[in-house]
Amino acid sequence: MTERPQKKAEAIETWNFVFPNQSNPYGNMFGGELLAIMDSTAAMAAIRYSGQTVSTASSERVIFKHPIFVGDRIRTVAKVVLVGRTSMMVRTDVFVDRNEGESGEKDILSTTAHFTLVAFDENRVPCQVPDLIIESETEQKHFELAQQIKAHVKRREERIQHVVEKWG
């Protein structure tokens, strides 16, 4: 049996302007628009990591901490923080740059989410991804948080299954 390769994850960064057609009438960016940007940045991180095509299986723990407004510049940073056999959990953070000069604000953490993506082979069968190398303290912290989220999701799914079996 061939040994599973190991790999370090790299952070993928995208920048976007927030346009009026991405907001509600009060000038706040729609959560769904933001999630689309986060999901596609997460997918790029997962593709770079696995070297395969990927699909999003789930998104978890989306925290909208600070609103984003029309005209803001958003920097989305995605990195694989936990891997299973064929799945990768990607932490995705969005930072906001707002205004310029004296009133300028830079790098405000606005939103964090964890996406789980699955790698596929050419027949669209889930395939093994490399084992994750964790080096820094931050990587270890993010790995442990991702483990807790995964365990929480598993417990939640088991409870839901129980309810579905009981009530249909």
Ligand X SMILES: CC(C)(COP(=O)(O)OP(=O)(O)OC[C@H]1O[C@@H](n2cnc3c(N)ncnc32)[C@H](O)[C@@H]1OP(=O)(O)O)[C@@H](O)C(=O)NCCC(=O)NCCS
Site residues for ligand X per CB under 6 A: 55-58, 84-87, 116, 118, 126
Quick check: 74 and 33 in contact, CB under 8 A?
no
Q: Using the minimum distance from each CB to ligand X, give the nearer residue, 72 or 87.
A: 87
Least Å from the CB of residue 86 to ligand X: 3
Q: Please report how close the Cβ of residue 90 comes to ligand X at its closest, in angstroms.
A: 12
Distance CA 168, CA 161 (A): 10
The residue sitting closest to ligand X, measured at its beta carbon, is 84
Least gap, CB of 56 to ligand X (angstroms): 4
Smallest separation (angstroms) from ligand X to the CB of 150: 8
Q: Which is nearer to ligand X, 58 or 99 (CB)?
A: 58
Handedness of CA 36, 39, 44, 45 (dihedral sign): positive
Phi, psi for residue 83 in degrees, rounded to 5: -125, 150
Beta bridge partners of residue 132, listed in sequence order: 7
Residue number with CB closer to ligand X (65 or 154): 154
For residue 59, report the phi and psi dihedrals to the nearest 5 degrees: -130, 145
Q: How far is CA 75 from the centre of its chain?
A: 13
Other beta carbons within 10 Å of 129? 25
Task: Please give the backbone phi and psi of residue 20, each rounded to the nearest 5 degrees, phi first.
Answer: -55, -35
Our CB check for ligand X shows the closer of 86 and 111 to be 86
Cβ 36 to ligand X shortest distance, Å: 9
- How many Å separate Cα 56 from the centre of its chain? 10
Nearer to ligand X by Cβ, of 110 and 116: the residue is 116
